[in-house]
Structure 1
């Protein structure tokens, strides 16, 4: 009995010790949780490397971090998503990292200050408030705010007014907003690219130092609407914390949204989304086609300013008019987009816009847009060079460019242009144009699309080079091919007969080497043979070919001989 009583007593003591131990552990954990979950820094508190502030609803966290792939010990103070610490949305000392883990963020000398163990200051809130009782708080929008505690929490400073590379819900989209990219994926130092608003033109812009990389289409476009929607009132209860816009170090302005199903960030939108989206990629009067391997071409009636650079794939110098006269003829282009002029005005009908352009000596082009709200017609006229031209756009519009007809159809037998495609003699889009032997082309006047007609079907023409007697067509391949196989593939699919004046060439576009794999949509180059003498019905048809008359050849055809 005594032995049994001793055992029970021992068990009771152990149970009591476990209970006391668990209680102490619970208190410690609770205390630690309370410390780690605080969201403020007061004049009597601070955080050191290894400690963090956490917003009230556990959405954002502020603390010290170091780029994961960096070999050097660099420490920064930043704000990130609590659920995803790798997603940094703000950095305090991005240009002045600490070299060790002795950093402390505190309120001292009337301002928020970051220093090391030796007292060296790496970052501080510029203005000092020595006579105020101030406090820094991290709220649930990711905004770090410096308050005057005794002044009804009057805001003295906030990180939302000093962003780094990320735009979050609640920030103001005004002329003061500037996002600056990181230098690289692992270096938060200010990089080359900035995003801001151009208040004069009411556009969003991305700059590479002093060079414009991208501009929004005035008050329109997906990115413009996204930035506008992210700007909310502070008391809005429907704050979305799972979306952000980032000025990436690659030069892309990116819109990210958190995918709760995948539990990861998803890139939903970005600009520039392709080379044609880059600002004025093909230069003034140069048209960009994203579906073409050779993206740039001069508008009909224009020529490269510097042929050598243009032929080498350097398009920034753009194009200039073939002749100095604007003329009174109008080149009609479909599904076009370009940078808007600064002014527009309401008109009653399209003819009024045409007349306004033709009577203005410096008018280069015009278009008419119908308002979606009040159905009014707006006339837009360009008196400066046409920039950032993109063709074959679903949301494009009809553009009318002043070009003398003699610059786009130099002979009576020349085809008229088809969209942005110049169709040189002897190529033919109809019985009254070009040489009948070369009547293998069709122009869709509604879209401005030129097609090459073959026994196997019609193929989109993406580029015509009259000087080299070559044009490019777009073909679909079931699987990627290389330039070496392109010649046999093209000849087999097109089914051109031996008498055809057209031949598939084995040369590739300048964008590819002979062994580089091509995507399933490829461009095949086709040459045309020099034509015979022009056909005619009478000697009057031969006036453009001096010293010739209309005679019957051995084949029975009449030609200018």
Structure 2
């Protein structure tokens, strides 16, 4: 499961769920939530069916006893294996590192989030295992890596990935109530299927967003270096605009083919945002952002428009960033101008495609400062 490189209870949306490290207690909490899933799930696209409770023996058999040859990814949560369950379905099985309470909490958060949330652009949870000290999550298997190991992505595919990821975030922010803040959006958490349809994964750091008159939730700063919004890092105040900033970094990676932070680059180019600032929203220099591997095969007008959207997402002031619904609409417009060989020499527009994209919510967001 490597790649590019929730809702509330009706009675009390902020009610906390108590649990212990004991496997029976943790498993019972998950089972209870699964039974109440239909009441918890917000309106949205549903995958049907519930999360299955697996035994450790079943998942060991599915992965050939967690054989190294079946290892497909490794991260902060633990290791991810490719496996085959009894139904014959190919799955991805994520095994938690045995590093104490923090891991169990992230396991619980991710399990509950994916039980309750369903959308085409969110990875589907097939099941889980909480047995002894073992914590495992079973997902649908996503076959593609981003960036692919074979050849670079073309422009149209990059826009397809950006649009799908934006739709997933829009669902979390605007459909789910209270909103869900993803908090760890990065290219490595965007999984792709055989047709490069993207799905957001890894919800262990997700948080319920502010409700009512609250403008943020205060929390310990967590995330991935290079993707976190500077205002969140400085203050610990988290809101949906923190995700918008992270999405802007992912857009930059798609445009440039560079990583958010690359220590192999020269000092002034290691941080992607620092390197790209002079080119964003500059009608004379924006083409320098384009990934050289695209070899000029992209529509100049659409590239300029996407660079403007990216610049808005990366605004230092959170209330000046657009909402994800605005971003999705903008990328949808960019996607309506696909690259067609021989027609990529159009002049970029004099004005950004979304010049006032965030004006509709500036007044209500000003209090975030």
Which TM-score tier does this pair reach, normalised by the shorter chain?
under 0.3
More helix by share: 2
Relative to the length of structure 2, the TM-score reads 0.25
Relative to the length of structure 1, the TM-score reads 0.19
More strand by share: 1
